Structure 1
Amino acid sequence: MVSGEPSSHENSIPHSENTHNPISTSPSPTDIPLIALNIAAQINEKLTPSTFPQWRAQFEALLIGYNLLDYINGNNPCPSPNDSSIPILQKTHWIRQDKLILNAILASTNTTITPFIFATKTSHEAWHKLHTLYASKSCTRAMQLKEELTMIKKGNQSVQEDLHTVKALADEISLIDQPISNDDLTLYILNGLGADFHEIAAPIRARERPLMFEELHDLLVRHDAYLHRLDASTQQLVASANYTHRRCGSSQGSQNFKGFSKQNGSGRNGASSKNDSKSAPY
C-alpha cells in the first residue's frame, strides 16, 4: 500500500537560495577609509579673487578623483543627528571626512579670502559661500575676456606668441563660461593677424569644416616660416643688387678719373712747352 505521507528525504534538501550569493554587498560608509587631501602637492595655485575659475576647476577635479564631490555640492548631506536609523559610526565618519575637505578648502585659499569662510561648519557651506562671492565676478571677467579677444592684434609678436595669447584667453573663458567654438576662435585669430596673412586667411575662411586649434596653429606657423624665408631671400637679392651697383659705380668713377687725369696732364704739358718756347733766347 502506498502511503500518502511524504518520504523523509523530501524535507532534507536545504533551501539556501541566498547562501552563496555571488553579488557582494556595497561596503558600509564606515569601512571606507578617510581621505586627507594633500593640497600643497595637488593644487598649484591658492584661491584669490581673480583665480576662482582655475582654482574651482582644479579642486573639483581632485574631489571627483577621490569620489568626494558629493560632499561639497550637497548630494551627500550630513546625516541627521536625530535619525536613529543611521549608526553613530556612520555619522561620525561623515563628519570627519567633511572636516578634512573643509580643511583642504581653507588651506588652499589666500589669506585675504580665508576670513570669509573660516566660520563655516561644513565643506558644502564653504563652497557655496565662495561660489556666491566670486561667481558673479567671474561672469564679469568672462565678458571682459571676450572683449579682449575681439580687439587682440598680432602686432610685433611672433605668430606663435599671438596664438598662445588668444588660446589662453579662450581657455580662461571656457573655465568661467561656455567654451568658445572652433569657428569663433578661428575668426578671432584671423582678424588679428594683419595683412601678411591675408593670402592664407581667405581659404581658411572658405572651409566647410571648422579647423581645430591645433590644425590652425600648424597652418599659420608654416605660413609664417614661409614669409620669413621669403623676406630673407628678398633681403639677400637687395643686398646683392646694391653690392653690384656699388662696384659698377666705383669702376665707372675710376675710369672717369683716369680720363680726367690724362686730359689735365696733357694740358699742363702743352702749356709748359709753350711757355718754354716763349722764354727760349732766340
Structure 2
Amino acid sequence: MVTITTSTIDSTHSPIITINAATTINEKLIPSTFPQWRAQFEALLIGYDLIEFVTGTHKCPVIDVLNLTASKAANSHWIRQDKLILHAILASTSTTITPLLFAYKTSHEAWTTLIRLYAGKSRTRVMQLKEDLTLSNRGSRSVSEFLQGIKVIADELAIIDHPVSDDDLTLYILNGLGIEFREIVGMLPLIR
C-alpha cells in the first residue's frame, strides 16, 4: 500500500509518498532474490516518480538565505521524502542485509550499496549464468517450466548489463528442449 500525504507546510511541492514495503514488495530482499526485488522496487519508484531519489539525480535542495522560507520548505520536503524511501528500502530487506545499510543517511546511498553488492558485473557471475544457459535442458520439466528457467537466467544477465540477444536466446531454448522437438528445430533454417 502506498499512502500519499499532502504537505500542509508548502503546497507548491508534490505530495509526500509513503511506501508500505510489506504490502507492495512481495518478498524480502535476500542475495538470491535481488533481480526480482530490484525490478519491483524500480517499477514502484518509477510509477510514483521517485526513481530520481535513489539514482541520485534529484539532489537535496540547498537552503538559500535570500529565499529562506521557500528553500527551507523545499529542503525539508526532500529530506522527508528521501527518508520515507530509505525506510521502505530498509523494511523490504532481510535481517541479514538490513545491518549493511544502517550507516547510510539517504536512499541513494543505500540503493547504490545494494546494486554494488548484488548486481555487480563480476566476470565470474556472468560466466556462470552463461554456462547455466548453455547447459540448461528441459529434462523432466514441462516446456513452460523450462522456458521460465531460461527467462530467469536471461533476466539476471540483463540486470547486470550483459543481455542475451534474441538469436542466442532462441538457440539456448532450442538446444535445451530435447529430442522430441528435433523436427521443429531442424525446420527452423528452412523457415528463414
The code of the aligned residue for 1:204 comes to L
Q: Which residue of 2 aligns with 1:136?
A: 120
1:110 corresponds to which of 87, 90, 94: 94
Q: Which residue of 2 aligns with 1:276?
A: none
Q: Deviations over 1:31-68 (max 9, x none)?
A: 42111012111111211122222212211111111111
**Count of aligned pairs:** 181
Q: Which residue of 1 aligns with 2:103?
A: 119
2:138 corresponds to which of 154, 165, 172: 154
* Pair 1:168-2:152 in alignment: yes
Q: Distance in 1 between matches of 2:47 and 2:167?
A: 32
Q: Distance in 1 between matches of 2:186 and 2:81?
A: 58
Instruction: Say whether the 8 Å CA contact 1:29–1:90 is kept in structure 2.
Output: no
| Aligned-partner SS, 1:35 | strand
> Which structure's relative contact order is higher, taking Cα pairs within 8 Å and 6+ residues apart?
2
* Pair 1:56-2:38 in alignment: yes
Q: Distance in 2 between matches of 1:204 and 1:139?
A: 33
| Aligned-partner SS, 1:36 | strand
Q: Distance in 2 between matches of 1:31 and 1:164?
A: 43
Q: Map 1:18-97 onto structure 2 (within 5 A).
A: 30-81=12-63, 84-85=66-67, 87-97=71-81
Q: 1:36 to 1:109 in 2, by over 3 A?
A: same
Q: 1:29 to 1:135 in 2, by over 3 A?
A: farther
The code of the aligned residue for 2:15 comes to P
Computing the radius of gyration from Cα coordinates, the structure with the larger value is 1
Instruction: Say whether the 8 Å CA contact 1:101–1:123 is kept in structure 2.
Output: yes
Q: Distance in 1 between matches of 2:77 and 2:164?
A: 42
| Aligned-partner SS, 1:201 | helix
Instruction: Say whether the 8 Å CA contact 2:119–2:159 is kept in structure 1.
Output: no
Q: Which residue of 2 aligns with 1:179?
A: 163
Q: Distance in 1 between matches of 2:12 and 2:62?
A: 16
Instruction: Say whether the 8 Å CA contact 2:28–2:93 is kept in structure 1.
Output: yes
More moved, 77-86 vs 147-156: 77-86
Instruction: Say whether the 8 Å CA contact 2:121–2:161 is kept in structure 1.
Output: no
1:112 CA drift (Å): 0.7
Query: For structure 1, which runs of at least 5 residues remain unmatched after alignment?
Result: 1-27, 209-282
Query: For structure 2, which runs of at least 5 residues remain unmatched after alignment?
Result: 1-9
- Scaled by the length of structure 2, the TM-score of the pair is 0.82
Q: Which has the higher strand share?
A: 2
Q: 1:101 to 1:157 in 2, by over 3 A?
A: closer
Percent identity, aligned pairs only, is 58
Instruction: Say whether the 8 Å CA contact 1:190–1:201 is kept in structure 2.
Output: yes
The code of the aligned residue for 1:39 comes to A
Q: Which residue of 1 aligns with 2:5?
A: none
| Aligned-partner SS, 1:51 | helix
- Scaled by the length of structure 1, the TM-score of the pair is 0.58
Q: 1:88 to 1:165 in 2, by over 3 A?
A: closer
Q: Distance in 2 between matches of 1:84 and 1:110?
A: 45
